Amino acid sequence: MITIVPVYPQLLSIYADRGNVIVLEQRARWREIDVAVHPIAVGDDLDAANADIILIGGGQDRDQALVADELRRQTPALRSAIADGAALLAVCGGFQLLGHRYRGHQGDEMIGTGLVDLETEAGDGRLIGNVLVEATVNGMRHDLVGFENHAGRTTLGSNVAPLGRVIAGGGNNGLDGLEGCLDGRVVGTYIHGPLLPKNPWLADQLLAWALDRHGVTTSLEPLDDRLAHLAAARAADLARR
């Protein structure tokens, strides 16, 4: 049984992050893999032993501020789950909350979880548009496509790998050519819209990590992803333009 845990989906799902849950759930069921979805609300406690794929979505600045304290309270459980082999996908605002802090224009700070060595500052404008990234996960290169819309400028610590390198788009900060982060099985990214429908290879990687946590190491059965590949190719073409 794979358990998918969306964190505070009522507040952190501004960019259709529910779509990521649906993709993971359906791709597991198509392969006859038992799967359950157990969202946690503000005030709930994360059960580290029963959280195989943890999803932290994006929210408005107000909503991120509302959940920041709660998410920090969950940090010990999150660390425990990650250390035990769970996968974590954090998108946009969730990506920012993986780090130490978000510093606003007025010097105000929103303290993050510190799960990943990264920091974010508010930029002068927003990075908006289609994105194409060359991602490398488990030694394999993939195109990663989607849409970004963020004012934050994120900088990774010196020992943190990016999820990929930007071919088109802004990425983490519009300057260093990097997008997202990849720290073990922790994936952070600014790409949303949602992310996984256009990037089924990444959904399958998360599922493979979840199965591995339960001692299942066989390759996932291929699925008919022709429509997803067409959508990804169209998105890549838009980004290149």
Pairing between strand 2-7 and 35-37?
A: parallel
Round to whole Å and give the CA distance between 192 and 44.
Answer: 26
User: What pLDDT, on a 0 to 100 scale, did the predictor assign at position 39?
Assistant: 97
pLDDT band with cut points at 50, 70 and 90 for residue 108: confident
**pLDDT at residue 80 above 90?**
yes
The single residue of 38, 181, 192, 214 carrying the catalytic annotation is 192
The pLDDT of 90-118, averaged and rounded, is: 94
- 181 has catalytic annotation: no
User: What pLDDT, on a 0 to 100 scale, did the predictor assign at position 192?
Assistant: 94
Tokens representing residue 185 in the block = 């099985």
Round to whole Å and give the CA distance between 118 and 101.
Answer: 8
Round to whole Å and give the CA distance between 175 and 74.
Answer: 32
User: What pLDDT, on a 0 to 100 scale, did the predictor assign at position 95?
Assistant: 97
Q: Which of 230, 203, 145 minimizes the C-alpha distance to 179?
A: 145
Report the percentage of the chain scoring pLDDT > 70.
100
pTM of the model: 0.96
User: What pLDDT, on a 0 to 100 scale, did the predictor assign at position 101?
Assistant: 95
The single residue of 38, 92, 100, 229 carrying the catalytic annotation is 92
- 192 has catalytic annotation: yes
Dump pLDDT digits (tens) for 123-176: 999 999 999 999 999 999 999 999 999 999 999 999 999 999 999 999 999 999
User: What pLDDT, on a 0 to 100 scale, did the predictor assign at position 207?
Assistant: 98
Report the percentage of the chain scoring pLDDT > 90.
89
Q: Which of 137, 138, 184 minimizes the C-alpha distance to 165?
A: 137
CA 163 vs. chain centroid, Å, equals: 10
pLDDT band with cut points at 50, 70 and 90 for residue 106: confident
CATH of the domain at 65: 3.40.50.880
The pLDDT of 218-224, averaged and rounded, is: 94
Q: How confident is the prediction for the chain on average, in pLDDT?
A: 95
Count of domains observed in the chain = 1
Tokens representing residue 82 in the block = 């990650």
Dump pLDDT digits (tens) for 7-56: 999 999 888 899 999 999 999 999 999 999 999 999 999 999 999 999 99
CA atoms within 13 A on the CB side of 168: 16
**pLDDT at residue 61 above 80?**
no
What's the farthest any 2 CA atoms get from each other in the chain?
51
- Domain of residue 136 covers 2-240
Round to whole Å and give the CA distance between 163 and 173.
Answer: 14
Q: What are the E-state strand segments in 104-208?
A: 109-111, 118-137, 140-156, 164-168, 178-179, 181-183, 186-189
Q: Which residues contact 149 (CB under 8 A, 6 or more apart)?
A: 15, 92, 126, 127, 128, 192
User: What pLDDT, on a 0 to 100 scale, did the predictor assign at position 229?
Assistant: 95
